[in-house]
Amino acid sequence: METVQELIPLVKEMIAQKPSRKLVKVYVLGGVLALFGVVLVLVETVCSPFTAASRLRDEEAAVAELRAARERQALQTQALPEKGKQHEATLCSRALSNRQHAS
């Protein structure tokens, strides 16, 4: 059922067979669901450029946040050895000062 031209003969054939009420209800329900599907696809098609732009902005914000986190982490890892060196220097100077007094 790709075109309306195929749908019209099908409907004529179904009417000629005189289906029961339940069967007509099923056909109507199927038609309504198909129409809802078409409407949803149309709405999605119309709104997709807006959602794509917002997704792009969200991805750019996430990338920027990730870069900032990596820079902070790099700064912290650089600061740790410097603090360690300062701590070692303090310990060495204390050790030397203790030895001078001990002799």
Question: Among candidates 4, 64, 62, 5, which has minimal Cα distance to 31?
Answer: 4
pTM surpassing 0.75?
no
Tens of pLDDT, residues 63-95: 889 899 888 888 887 776 666 666 666 655 555
Residues of the chain above pLDDT 90, percent? 9
Confidence at residue 40, expressed as pLDDT on a 0 to 100 scale: 92
**What is residue 29's predicted lDDT score, i.e. its pLDDT?**
92
Q: Which two tokens stand for residue 36?
A: 């809802």
Which tokens is 11 given? 């409907």
For 65: left if phi > 0, alpha if psi spans -120 to 50, otherwise beta; the answer is alpha
